[in-house]
Amino acid sequence: MPPISRLDPRYHRARGLHELNRLMSLRREQRRLQIETYQFLAQCAKRKESPCQQDNSQCVKRMRYSGPDLPEDIWHHIHSLLPLQDAARAACVSQAFLRFWRCHPNLIFSWKTMGLNKVPHKKGGIVRDYNNKVDRIMKNHSGALERLEIKRCGEINRLTIPCLLQRLSFLGVFGCFGLQMLESKAPNLCSFHFEGKQAQFSLEEPVRLKNLEVVFPNSVCYARVELPFSMPDIEILNVILSCEMVDTPTGPGKFLHLRYLRITFATWRFSWAYDYFSLASFLDACPSLETFILCISQKEKHDLTFKDAICLRQIPEHRHDKLKNVKITGFSATRSLVELICHIMENTTSLECLTLDTLCTQLRCSDGNIDVCLPPIGSGCYQGSA
């Protein structure tokens, strides 16, 4: 039987069934491990709660676990996958799990995990007690902390990451809209993700930072003007615009080491008059850029037709000698966007692949693992190689 074409509906059904079976198999295995773990915990709890009514020789006998005899590192991994509250309960009934708890790899501090989600936040004593507990735990684990995420702490206006966090490599701050100043003295911070309102950033070792993601209004303008001077050595930059009202300005700063740039227009709060061609100044500031991805999530006005006389703007002496891959999703016949694409093609000698996709990012039916997706009627994708 000849192979089924990707255009054949049977191909998509077969691919979907394969992925569904794989997912169901993974879930069955996870469920099996979870059941075995809880059976073990139940027996440990029964052993701990049962009174000792026999002689000493019988008291020291331990109840054997009837489940599979797994290596200690496997139990350690299973314990690390448990929700934080369940992992803590397990540590209360088992000496083995108590050892695992003392080096638990993922700690999540929230009102829910600390059992305070039903308590009004205005009770100052409880809030202080919660903060003191978190502070004490953080100090005890400061030498081993590698990843720190802070989410939806609206009352913070200044955040200082101390130099005690010697191994901290990732810092994420999300939804802290009251934050005005963030200072990091962590010597090995290499990845920083920030989402909120524009704030001031001060890094003790900016040359270490290689991966940056920022999400706030007018973030492209901020990234073009400020970042070449405050974070000059970044190699991966992801800029997500929650609101952009001004065109991207020109400036003297350059990203000499930037290899990957992704810009996402992710909201309807966006100026229709935005000039995509102004992004050419951003590309010009990245002499080492290899990959450029532009994602446009809102529908644009088609202000260019085949009947129009084409007179495109040009920027002389702008060369992109290392740019290899360019992808634009949400492409439309917008004059400034067409001008940007023509500028890239005319001034890039190393271009290997150019992808123009008319689908908006959020309309994807694929999860990124399957490269086949049935597009809506009227949509299409053009991919060409230089």
CA distance 45 to 63: 11
Strand partners, 192: 171, 212
pLDDT cut 70: percent of the chain above it: 63
β-pairing verdict for 158-161 and 181-184: parallel
- Cα angle: 18, vertex 24, 28; to 5 degrees: 145
Q: Inform me whether the pLDDT recorded for 297 exceeds 60.
A: yes
What pLDDT is stored for residue 249 in this prediction?
A: 80
β-pairing verdict for 381-385 and 353-357: antiparallel
E strands present in the chain: 147-151, 158-161, 170-174, 181-184, 191-195, 200-203, 211-215, 236-241, 260-265, 291-296, 325-329, 353-357, 381-385
Answer whether 249's CB lies under 8 Å from 284's CB: no
pTM of the model: 0.68
User: How far out from the chain centre does Cα 247 lie?
Assistant: 26
Q: Tell me the HSE value of 367 on the side-chain side, using a 13 A CA sphere.
A: 4
Q: Kindly state the tokens that stand for 247.
A: 């065109």
Q: Which helix (H) or strand (E) holds 151?
A: strand 147-151
> Hey, what amino acid is at 335?
R
Residue 109: how many CB atoms within 10 A of its CB?
15
CA distance 321 to 289: 9
Q: Inform me whether the pLDDT recorded for 197 exceeds 80.
A: yes
What pLDDT is stored for residue 89 in this prediction?
A: 78
Mean pLDDT of 259-281: 82
Q: Among the listed ranges 63-67, 113-117, 170-174, which one has the minimum average pLDDT value?
A: 63-67
Strand partners, 356: 328, 382
Q: Is 329 left (phi over 0), alpha (psi -120 to 50) or beta?
A: beta
Q: How many residues does the chain have?
A: 386
Residue 282: how many CB atoms within 10 A of its CB?
24
| Greatest Cα pair distance in the chain | 100
Q: What tens digit of pLDDT does each residue of 339-382 get? A: 999 999 988 989 999 999 988 655 444 444 434 443 333 344 44
DSSP collapsed to 3 states, 232-274: CCCCEEEEEECCECCCCCCCCCCCCCCCEEEEEECCCCECCCC
- Cα angle: 199, vertex 201, 207; to 5 degrees: 150
How confident is residue 119, by pLDDT bands cut at 50, 70 and 90?
low
Q: Which of 307, 344, 303, 311 is nearest to 325 (CA)?
A: 344
SS3 286: coil
Q: What tens digit of pLDDT does each residue of 205-231 get? A: 888 899 999 998 888 889 999 999 999
Helix, strand, coil abundance in the chain, percent, nearest 5: 35, 15, 50
